[in-house]
Amino acid sequence: MVQPGSGAGGYQRGGRVSRLEARFVLQRRGGFRLDIDLSLPGAGVSVLFGPSGCGKTTVLRCLAGLAQAEEGHLRLGERCWQDSETGRWVPTHRRPIGYVFQEASLFPHLSVAGNLAFARKRGAEPDGDDGDLIDLLGIGPLMTRRPAQLSGGERQRVAIARALATAPRVVLMDEPLAALDGARKAEILPFLERLHRELAVPVVYVTHSMDEVVRLADWLVVMADGRAVSTGPVTEVLSDVASSLASSDDASVALDAEVVGHDAEYGLSRLDVDGVELWIAGLERPLGTRLRIRIHARDVSVALFRPDGSSITNILPSVVEALAPAGAHQCTVRLRMGNGARLLARLTRRSCDLLALAPGAVVYAQIKGVVPIN
């Protein structure tokens, strides 16, 4: 993927952040306890992923100052917003954040332009120009409309623009697609991907959708019962056979690729994944296009020798790195391709035993499906 803020017209306000460091301990009535320690990159999209009730939104509220942890600290780059040991506490209105909720929550009596102007006046750069932001989110034609005249996807794009108009140091997004139907989600996802490429401030994004994780995440925090059970670059967390994600039916990896060729006769496109060649159903993308692809574990099989006469196009030499049970009768196998990138394969326990698979074994990964996700 393009590095955040590196593209032409990259949107940046408020300066760069080196890293977001947070530690929160919070006890809620009903027995829920949040106990989490986070160290998130200062750029790109960090996703908090997990089932409803695991504490994702509570983390965002703590970051925003809308909830105060009994114990903890919060540092954004050189700025300390909370330290329970010294008693330091920066209230919400003094934290340069942009917050996007599930519902757009725009001011109904103001036009789109009025909503942006209100946010800008309350931000760090009240005299700034929102032109690049308007272009980035494609809301130029909407500026004179009021929220009631917008579709759900348009309202959410305006809500994102309003959050960014405050010149935030960090953007918090609490399941921004959850209230939208499938068509509206498809409408807004390309704009979120543009933010992913262009935004130079960190985004902390909450979701329980794996599709959004593989499409948007640079850094992934998997949460359960108020704790972070796995955290790291999205490629590493998704390929960790010890994680709950690897044992799920939806287990997959996300890889970044470049379109390097097209075969019009057979309707195929050729991708380069850091030196590894993959063929995919024809894409209407120009050569040089960067995109992210998803490969499901269920679409990868393993052979000890390169098959002859196979209908599978993508057959790659790989090395078995790790194995783990996936239910009573299956296992998940992590494979390392020649470029160091990982794949997951979902096999039956019988197949693993018959092939005598073990770490270090040299095999051939047969990839039956490659899905472009942006």
| Residues 225 and 303 occupy one common structural domain | no
Same domain, 31 and 121: yes
Residue 59's nearest CA partner among 212, 224, 193, 210 is 224
* One domain, residues 182 and 262: no
Does residue 225 belong to any structural domain of this protein?
A: yes
Assign 9 a pLDDT band (cuts: 50, 70, 90): very low
Does residue 9 fall inside a structural domain? no
Please tell me whether residues 359 and 222 are part of one structural domain: no
CATH of the domain at 139: 3.40.50.300
Instruction: Compute the average pLDDT of residues 226-236.
Output: 94
What is the distance of C-alpha 266 from the center of its chain?
Answer: 33
Range of the domain at 52: 19-233
Question: How confident is residue 68, by pLDDT bands cut at 50, 70 and 90?
Answer: confident
CA distances from 264 to 261, 267, 281, 282, 370 (A): 10, 5, 11, 8, 18
Q: Same structural domain for residues 161 and 47?
A: yes
Based on the fold, state whether residues 188 and 274 are members of the same structural domain. Answer: no
The count of domains in the chain is: 2
pLDDT at 7: 37
Same domain, 192 and 261: no
Tell me: pLDDT of 374 over 80.
Answer: no
Is 96 within a domain? yes
Nearest residue to 206 (alpha-carbon basis) of 247, 242, 174: 174
pLDDT value of residue 75: 94
What is the pLDDT, as a whole number, of residue 287?
96
Other Cβ atoms closer than 10 A to 127: 6
Q: How many CB atoms lie within 10 A of CB 274?
A: 13
Q: Which residue, 233, 265, 289, sits at the end of a domain?
A: 233
Q: What is the pLDDT of residue 4?
A: 41
Q: Are 199 and 279 in the same domain?
A: no
Last-in-domain residue among 202, 233, 264: 233
The last residue of one of the domains, among 206, 233, 260, is 233
344 belongs to a structural domain? yes
Count CB neighbours of 201 within 10 A: 26
346 has a pLDDT exceeding 60: yes
Q: How many Å apart are CA 156 and CA 107, to the nearest integer?
A: 13
User: For residue 141, is pLDDT > 60?
Assistant: yes
322 and 218 together in one domain:
no
Give yes or no: residues 88 and 123 share one domain: yes
- Claim to verify: residue 206 and residue 352 sit in the same structural domain: no
* pLDDT tier, 126 (very low <50, low <70, confident <90, very high otherwise): low
Q: What is the pLDDT of residue 179?
A: 84
Q: Quote the tokens at residue 182.
A: 């499938």
To which residue do tokens 């051939």 refer? 364
Q: Mean pLDDT in the chain?
A: 90
Work out the end-to-end distance of the chain between its first and last CA atoms, rounded to an integer number of angstroms: 10
Confidence of residue 102 (pLDDT cuts 50, 70, 90): confident
Nearest by Cα to 300 from 338, 262, 264, 336: 336
- Does residue 14 lie within any of the structural domains? no
User: Identity (one letter) of the amino acid at 288?
Assistant: G
pLDDT over 80 at 13, yes or no: no
Mean pLDDT throughout 182-198?
86
Task: Assess whether pLDDT exceeds 60 at residue 342.
Answer: yes
The three-state (H, E, C) secondary structure of 181-219, written as one string = CHHHHHHHHHHHHHHHHHCCCCEEEEECCHHHHHHHCCE
Q: Verify that 177 and 257 share a domain, yes or no.
A: no
Of 321 and 14, the one with more pLDDT: 321
Q: Which residue shows structure tokens 């759900």?
A: 152
Give pLDDT, residue 12: 55
User: What is the tens place of the pLDDT at every residue in 300-330?
Assistant: 999 999 998 899 999 999 999 999 999 899 9
Q: What CATH number should be reported for the domain holding residue 345?
A: 2.40.50.100
Report the range of poorest mean pLDDT among 92-101, 120-129, 169-178, 359-368.
Answer: 120-129
Average pLDDT over residues 282-297: 95
Tens of pLDDT, residues 237-248: 999 999 889 989
Distance CA 240, CA 230 (A): 9
**Are 160 and 152 spatial neighbours (Cβ–Cβ below 8 Å)?**
no
* Domain membership flag for residue 4: no
The answer to whether the CB of 345 falls within 8 A of the CB of 299 is no
Residue with tokens 């019009």: 264
**Structure tokens given for 70:** 């009994």
Q: What is the pLDDT of residue 144?
A: 94
pLDDT of amino acid 123: 65
How far, in Å, CA of 8 to CA of 286, rounded? 18
Establish if 326 belongs to a structural domain: yes
Decide if 25 is inside a domain: yes
For the segment 143-159, the average pLDDT, to the nearest whole number, is 93
